[in-house]
Structure 1
Amino acid sequence: MAHRHLIDSLTSHISLYHSQSPNPNPNPNPSPRSSILKWFSSLSIHQRLSHLTILHSSFVQILLQMLSKLHSNNTHGCFILLPDLPSRDPPFLPTLCFKKSHGLLARIADSDTAGKLIFDSVRLFESREGEDDVAGCSCSVRNLDAVTFSEELVEDVDRFVEAMDRISGGGFLRGEEAELGEDWMELNWLKSKGYYGIEAFIANRIEVCMRLAWLNSCGGKKRGVKLKEKLNVAGVAANVYWRKKGCVDWWGNLDSVTRKKVFNTIIMKSAKTLTYEVLKVASSASKDEVWLYSSGMGVDKLLGYNCTASSQRTIRTFCDDTEFGRI
């Protein structure tokens, strides 16, 4: 066992060394980096966020598994995903391997400001929320299927690119990628890491989203059925973002009297159904689900969906109104 730990530590430190060293042979063909960044910079903040929105239930569940691993081990760690070894139970997620970080590796992770920027900007939500009646809604984390990000991540494009370059070791948007249609696409810079942190896993998906959105917007080469399917999903994800943003903005623009009427109407009509749903989920929730909702480091933190700065004020106002009985 000690021999195995020694080998793991050695390979991790070698990987860290290479990630911190400048690439002596940078890709001589940075295309389409300059084109994508020029296009991305021309967008408004909310257009950028709509293109970065991820609609992928399995991806969200893997993120939650990663969070649970980090929490249960109470330390930073690295992961590797094995899509070729799916779990035996639905939804047949890829096998997730975890390795703790110790010593220098843990200290480097703790001081990683780029990774912190990416991680802290993540927002999870349910894409179909509000489409059905209350009976069709659920408060289970299993229903979370979408990811978007806070304004702070993309309001300064230079800062965003700097963070992505830092996490990717300078590989962000470098070179062509031929496998964008794969479900668990790992870009070359992520593959080279071997084991990687949750921040790199998220950054990898951000870059995939940017590449797909750019292909959709600028008419790039669209080869293969799988790629076309992913491009369609990317378009749907952007629409999901705008619908969610519209709901948040609508609520934020209501006065307190109207909010109270809406809130009371929903509660009066759906109290029995809502109570049943809460009790059902609470009684069947796993330990991981209970932690994810109760801990300040779990989904409770990531569920703070934030479309605009005004929506932050809306959330605070909503809490204040509830506390003082105005809603």
Structure 2
Amino acid sequence: MTRDIGFFVFPKFQILDLTGPLSAFQIAGRQYRLHVISPQGGLVPSSAGLDVMTTRAEERYFDTLVIAGGNGARAGSRTEALPALVRDLASRSRRVASVCTGAFLLAAAGILDSKRATTHWRRAADLQKRFPGVAVDRDCIYIKDGSVWTSAGISAGIDLALALIEDDLGAEAARAVAQELVVYHRRPGGQSQFSAMLELEPDSDRVRRALGFAREHLHEPLPVERLAEAACLSPRQFGRAFRAETGETPAKAVERLRAEAARVRIESGSEPIESIAVLVGFKDPERMRRAFLRLYGQPPQALKRAARALRVVR
């Protein structure tokens, strides 16, 4: 069985959002026919200035429709024509996927309504704010919700493509493609994206103040009431403002800050993991282990072994 894969692009798309997944499907072999399509057809300029030849999106069936991301996706999601075309194409596809900010076009087309989805961590809060009916999860490399798949930023499109190939052809086929691409097979979908919580700069001074307070008091209990007090807001006001600014709940953000602080200690020193868990505010090592599995896809011990091996090599 040969499957037709349609890669939908538009002016100012991110070139790796196209070439990464396209290369994975191309390497998978004759099981796939690949089509790069656009609203008008012809040469379409990427945000890198590289033009890509496309065919005009027409009324045809695709097994899988992949929507690229980039600045053009966010801009296009504010128009009527581009989301309408995506909605029409998706209605004639067995499954739909987006890479990075391509999720904005899926959301604008109504395809992500009441679904879990992810996008580039830097754009997750904006996606949630603009489309409150979407359950945005900024943690994941990719998410499958029914027949709709979304992925994180740029290179995560390769992880997405490998997962789609595995869904079609099995784990061995996906592993062979990963080996040919010389990439890890494969980052789990639930593994956290790179987190910039330590560098997060929300628009609100009050939310920034609460984050600064949390960073300085990680070893202490940090219930939402205490963070709200630091922000000079009621707990309810603070919770709403914090989620709107960051796309996270306060509790999840504190967990992320603690995990990041613990990871730095684990990878750069020789402290016992049990001691690190206490120093950064986890009540016990088991809680820290569960947080690491959620955020990094592996336990603290694995990161410690990897860091030790890297130091030996160096």
TM range (shorter): under 0.3
| Greater RCO (Cα-Cα under 8 Å, separation 6 or more) | 1
More helix by share: 1
Q: Give the strand-richer structure, 1 or 2.
A: 2
The TM-score, its normalising length taken from structure 1, stands at: 0.24
